[in-house]
Amino acid sequence: MTKWAVVKFLEFVDQKRGGVLVASEVIRDTNGAFEAARRVYYIVNNTGDAIKRGGHYHPHGGKQEIWLVPVGRVTTNLHSAKECQEVVLDSRDRALFIPGDVWHDARLDPGTVLICIASTNYNPAESISSLPSCACKKL
Minimum CB separation of residue 81 from Zn ion in Å reads 9
Q: Does 84 bind Zn ion (CB under 5 A)?
A: yes
> Closer CB to Zn ion, residue 40 or residue 136?
136
SS3 category, 124: helix
Q: Does 134 bind Zn ion (CB under 5 A)?
A: yes
Cβ distance to Zn ion smaller for residue 57 or 97: 57
Residue 73 lies near Zn ion (rule: CB under 5 A): no
Which residues, including other chains, have CB under 8 Å from residue 70's CB and lie 6 or more apart? 22, 92, 113, 115
Q: Which helix (H) or strand (E) holds 26?
A: helix 26-29
Q: Is 78 in the site for Zn ion (CB under 5 A)?
A: no
**Residue 104 is a binding residue for Zn ion (CB under 5 A):** no
